[in-house]
Amino acid sequence: MAYERTLQSMTWADAGHMAPELILIAMMALLIIVDLVLPRRIDRSIIGWLSLASLIGSFVSVVWHIQDQADQSQESIALGLLNDNYRIDDFGAMFKLLLLTAAALIALWSLGSMKRGTRGQLDHQGEYYYLLLPATAGAMLMTSTGDLITLYTGLELLSISTYVLVGLRTKRDVALQAASSEEKVSAKPAEAAFKYVVTGGISSAFILFGMSYLYGLTGSTHVGEIGSMLTQTVDSFRGLIYMAFFFMIAGFGIKIAAAPFHAWAPDVYEGAPTPVSAFLAVISKAAAAAALFRLFYNLVFPESLSNGNTIGHDLFRAVLAVAACAMLVGTLSALRQHNMKRLLALSGVANAGYLIVPIGLSFYGAHSNNAAELFFYAAAYLFMNIGAFAVLSIVAGARDSESDDSVQLRTFEGLYHRAPWTASAMIIFVLSLAGLPISGGFFGKLFIMMGAASTHAYWLVAIMAGSSVISYYVYFGIVRQMFMRSSGDVSVHVPAASGTVVWLCAAATLVLGVYPNGLLHWFEHVFSVVNDLLVLRR
């Protein structure tokens, strides 16, 4: 029976292969107990340091697995756990390294921006740190899925954890509530959490609805089996196949915040604590993009090669249409935006478009390095986005009268004169977001545009180039404020941990801009399409 085959218990060897995820889950359980037994007078930063240590430990475990696989054989072979429902392969491992790097940077930055007694400290600081761990573990599950049920489990683990994180309030929010006769300021975290729960629920429902159609058509939830059986049912159930994938594209579009499914992003990013906004902007996007990439190249690509059918081609075009819409809508909407968190949210919408272009290009013609393009741009986006959010948090911390969600462009006035090194780092992030040399963002966009040109998608190249040019006006508005405006004598204090994160991100952005081939060659050396991306039932 099909169901009996899927019922397979986990062995100790399986647990060893899943060590990166289990480290995070085990540490979360431990930190819940620590948070309960610690007296309230004791600073919860110790929980933050333990969370950071577990993220580093998980990172080391992933690196050890990649190295171990490389030592054992010339060509890496994917491991299938729980009857191949969970994949241990280099595609998932490489994206796990990105996710863990992002989570570690956010945790370290939080240790600086949420010090005890500061206005950026959260009301429930312990909960914030240990909820980062299951959220990251859920994102890691999504990158290694071999089964729709596993994918949905990781998606919900990520979603439920972030629902709570978005609603956390800072001391600054509480102080502004007490000082304000209006309650709209204090209501922003709750409003953001409510909107995120509603849109997240809709997204999950769309994805689950699309998955249910695939299960109904094939009788399986295993990605490899669905891919092989869809080619046999395409002639009889074309309409249902279209419906299944269009619902899944819409659901993942909401998770990635790609237009026209992006309306929630500016409000949620504005109301959430700034590190949580960065988490949503980077980790949620990258995990959803990696999962969608694996699904499309296991379910849609085989159908596009069989019998001259057009369904696969239509679905790839649908992804490209969403990407083009995201780039245009995100960039044009940001033109008149003055709130910095909303501006970065709309910037994330545009960048989500670039992120999903490699998914829609397919392996046609001379173009076969989609995975490398996706990975490189995700890495570049990670550093430039976390760095920009960290600078925003530092600038907001200089004005106790303002919360992070009320930081406007004018708040950056004269930043170069008040904090020249922080302003210099922000210049690097702005150049990368705009896609200008010498930055990681420039080469990330260049590689994707070259991939689009190699598949003769010249209309998409024109949209990518046009949106990049328009974005210059958006991003250089920040530069104009920092260098060409005077500011009073408001000093900027840069916490050591926050400053470390800013300059780690700035250095990584420059390295990716000066030597992009290093990361690309490493990924291409480790990654194999057949062994690491395609899910085949053994």
Both structure tokens of 204: 């999950």
The four Cα atoms 379, 340, 501, 525 give a dihedral, to 10 degrees, of: 0
Which burial class, exposed, middle or buried, applies to 263 when counting CB atoms under 10 A from its CB (0-12, 13-18, 19+)? middle
For the chain, what is the largest distance between any 2 Cα atoms, rounded to a whole number of angstroms? 74
Q: Pick the range with the lowest mean pLDDT from 2-16, 270-284, 310-324, 445-459.
A: 2-16
pLDDT at 529 over 50: yes
Tokens of residue 25, six digits: 């889950």
Do residues 112 and 45 touch, judged by C-beta distance below 8 A? no
Task: Check pLDDT > 80 for residue 415.
Answer: yes
pLDDT for position 3: 45
Q: What is the pLDDT of residues 155-194, one digit of tens each?
A: 999 999 999 999 887 666 555 555 554 444 456 778 888 9
Query: Once rounded to an integer, what is the mean pLDDT over residues 481-489?
Result: 72
Q: Which residue has the higher pLDDT, 368 or 250?
A: 250
pLDDT score recorded for residue 424? 92
H/E/C letters for each residue in 408-449? Answer: EHHHHCCHHHHCHHHHHHHHHHHHHHHCCCCCHHHHHHHHHH
Q: Average the pLDDT over 211-239 and give the result.
A: 87
Query: Which pLDDT value is given to residue 301?
Result: 80
Confidence grade of residue 1 (pLDDT, cut at 50, 70, 90): very low
DSSP symbols for 360-376: HH-S-TT---HHHHHHH
Residues 33-63: pLDDT tens digits? Answer: 998 998 877 777 899 999 999 999 999 999 9
Indicate the range of 246-255, 485-494, 511-520 predicted with least confidence.
Answer: 485-494
Per-residue confidence (pLDDT) for residue 81, from 0 to 100: 77
Can you give the pLDDT at residue 484?
Answer: 78
Strand partners, 339: 408
Cβ-based burial of 107 (10 A; exposed 0-12, middle 13-18, buried ≥19): buried
pLDDT digit string (tens) for 80-116? 777 778 888 889 999 999 999 999 999 999 988 876 5
Least confident among 107-116, 279-288, 505-514: 107-116
Higher pLDDT, 435 or 181: 435
Given this model, what pLDDT does residue 143 score? 93
Q: For residues 133 and 106, give the distance between their C-alpha atoms in angstroms, rounded to a whole number.
A: 12
Q: Among 252, 340, 333, which residue's Cα sits nearest to residue 292?
A: 252
Report residue 463's pLDDT band, with 50, 70 and 90 as the boundaries.
Answer: very high
Question: Which is it for strands 86-88 and 79-81: parallel, antiparallel or unpaired?
Answer: antiparallel
CA distance 380 to 440: 5
Average pLDDT, the chain: 85
The mean pLDDT of 391-402, rounded to a whole number, is: 76
Q: Give the CA angle between residues 370, 21, 377 to the nearest 5°.
A: 25
Residue 210 has pLDDT above 90, yes or no: yes
Does residue 522 contact residue 401 with C-beta atoms inside 8 Å?
no
As beta bridge partners, residue 122 has 170
